[in-house]
Chains A and B, each alone.
Chain A
């Protein structure tokens, strides 16, 4: 039997695994290395998955998890190392080859086709022979498989009409129809409510009990401890440990994942100032067919206060944030007040001059122009003297401003002349946050402050947000990361189906309650009303 030499984890652990598992591992990766021009994504990575095992690959953003999965799935070729499948060396040339072996993958950003139906999407994920095997009854098989694993789907619905959770179901059913021997899930819970996560776990446990191996990629410690039999922890492209997560604490896993746990300053109590941002009864029709209507949204943020909006993405957060930032203008001037000025009809520039600053969720292409140098990118939000005088750009001032941001916020960049696209996600986010902070805003909107940002940068951004709060700014944060919201905010709202829940003080909020609200189940919320008007249960 091919045996892997492992230099990590305790010897006792290894012995226990090998003794407990049946003879041939389903998948073995040995000394996999993959280099990109700027970075070594995988550096001598080894990993073993047994049949029926739920195996976590744990690591923060940029640890190399996704690259490793792409290698297993055949969409990226390793520079060195070998892959064994049921004990035999294989070269997985492309995803087709991977699927032939029995490897299926559920992507983090779904590989679905919006305008096609569920059935068409699933057919595209199967080989022609597999489709033929269903003999024109693919739709029925989708329903059957869905029923068996608790993943109900309507085969003829176009995907763009589905919720994010339903889309994930499509991906999972598609994977299951190929009867995989190894199922790879890449950050599968980032789009789910806590309750939906529990349902997913049931499905996965059922699958594993039937002998299917599962590779579960995540950075969420609690989930891995609840679900997985084994965890391979990665950091900076290397394996930093192999363990049984059920026997670890969140702290010990975190140490393996991050090195040293960053600490977050405690939320200081700041005396609340007057209302700086007020939204009253804001309703907005969606601007494109895949969007969400906003219904009668009201909220207030006072100076020195951080208010969070939780929710599964695609429930109107993007529309709301665009309506607040001025990217979308409102018909009604009084629907939005910034510093007590009716600002509904003002565009983004005019709102900025009232003291608003905004950090959007997409950094490249929205928060920054990818090919422009950082100095030019400061002009997106610094449109007045000293950067712009009498309609003329003052290049020197712009450069100085960029240099200041780089220095003050520790942005790793080639200088003010570096193109925005040459920065890593975390550094670009630091630059954009820094650029907005330099304006000393009175109202700050931040969407997904730490999405795809490494832990060090995330901690720094969190610290800056709390410092800004202490200076009396009114801050509104939209995030999908509950941990982050609980750490930063004084109050929370939840968005579901284009509506905003009542507010709840952070001291009184629980993950369970927020999770229910994410499905729209707050008193008189969209889901609660649906229950009241018909006896039908609530999906998801």
Chain B
């Protein structure tokens, strides 16, 4: 029992950045925009957040910087796909490549440094036996990401703005005919996605690791993208999926610590393999995907 509580705590901690990024991408995709640049946005934000964290010593400032950097990258993507009507897949790949290069370049001078952060222990709740340690001794960003899931669910399914967003993802042509500003709404959704990926990236470098290493996002952006499919674009299922991935990520470390003889590389492969398996399981039924996927996902829209 006493090893289980910290295990759960680390699993939750590991799932938070994926959750955050996936929620942003979910809103993004609900509006019909597929941003494969998630990894790049997270990398740029990770290095930006880290740099600001080092310079200011403020975690809040670092997170804010991450969000802004993510939004800036997302704005670039939005300009290309929405105004220049470029292919979303190609533009997303370009952003991932640019993000990798840019973050490596900027990060070179920050390699090896570290930011000191603190957790946000919920008074009272954290004292509950077991649960206190397992759940309520996380950084504030972790709580916020779970709260964000609830907010996104409420926004998408309980508000008119959310309904409009979903409608645009379903058929931008119809929404345009009805007079909705499709491109502006998509722009806002892409920025939201960028902000979420940004905070997730900054969280990784400033709080989770907390170090800057080149390519440190290590595919979490892509996993977050896979997660939106796995969750059939529903926030509740994103939470579930993120927790599963968080658990898989730390289970490797845990197995090693209890002395299981498996090469560490194979344990490190687990999240990637799990992603593949999950994609296969969820994609097997095309009807299921088709009924749930925003119908215009990935397709360019140009108002006539």
Contacts and interface: CB of A to CB of B under 8 A. Distances in A.
Find out whether A and B make contact in their complex, taking CB atoms under 8 A apart as touching: yes
Interface of A: 74-76, 94-96, 98-99, 107, 110-116, 120, 123-125, 128, 131, 288-289
A375 to B, nearest CB: 26
A114 B173 CA distance: 13
Please report whether the interface of chain A is mostly helix, strand, loop or mixed according to DSSP.
loop
B4 to A, nearest CB: 41
Contacts of B177: 75, 95, 107, 111
A116 B166 contact: yes
B174 A123 contact: no
A42 B174 CA distance: 23
Interface string B169-196: 0110111111110000000000000000
Please report whether the interface of chain B is mostly helix, strand, loop or mixed according to DSSP.
helix
Given A95-B178, A113-B174, A123 B291 contact: no
Interface in B282-304: 286-287, 290-292, 295, 304
A96 B179 contact: yes
Interface of B: 160, 163-164, 166-167, 170-171, 173-180, 286-287, 290-292, 295, 304
A42 to B, nearest CB: 15
4 A-B pairs closest in CB distance: A95-B179, A111-B174, A96-B179, A113-B170
B160 A113 contact: no
A125 B177 CA distance: 10
Contacts of B295: 114-115
Nearest to B164: A124
B176 A112 contact: no
Contacts of B170: 113-116
A288 B286 contact: yes
A112 B178 CA distance: 10
A288 B179 contact: no
Given A74-B179, A111-B174, A128 B160 contact: yes
Contacts of A107: 177
A288 B160 contact: no
Contacts of A113: 166-167, 170-171, 174-175
Given A113-B174, A114-B170, A115-B170, A99 B286 contact: no
- Indicate the member of A107, A111, A113, A131 with the most B CB atoms within 10 Å: A113
A124 B166 CA distance: 11
A32 to B, nearest CB: 17
A167 to B, nearest CB: 12
A245 B291 CA distance: 46
A288 B287 CA distance: 6
Contacts of A96: 179
Contact of B304 (A76, A120, A125): A76
Contacts of A125: 178
Given A98-B179, A110-B174, A288-B286, 11 more contacts: A107-B177, A111-B177, A112-B171, A113-B174, A114-B295, A115-B291, A116-B163, A120-B167, A123-B163, A124-B180, A289-B287
A99 B179 contact: yes
B178 A116 contact: no
Nearest to B170: A113
Contacts of B173: 111
A74 B175 CA distance: 14
B160 A289 contact: no
Given A96-B179, A124-B178, A289 B167 contact: no
B163 A120 contact: yes
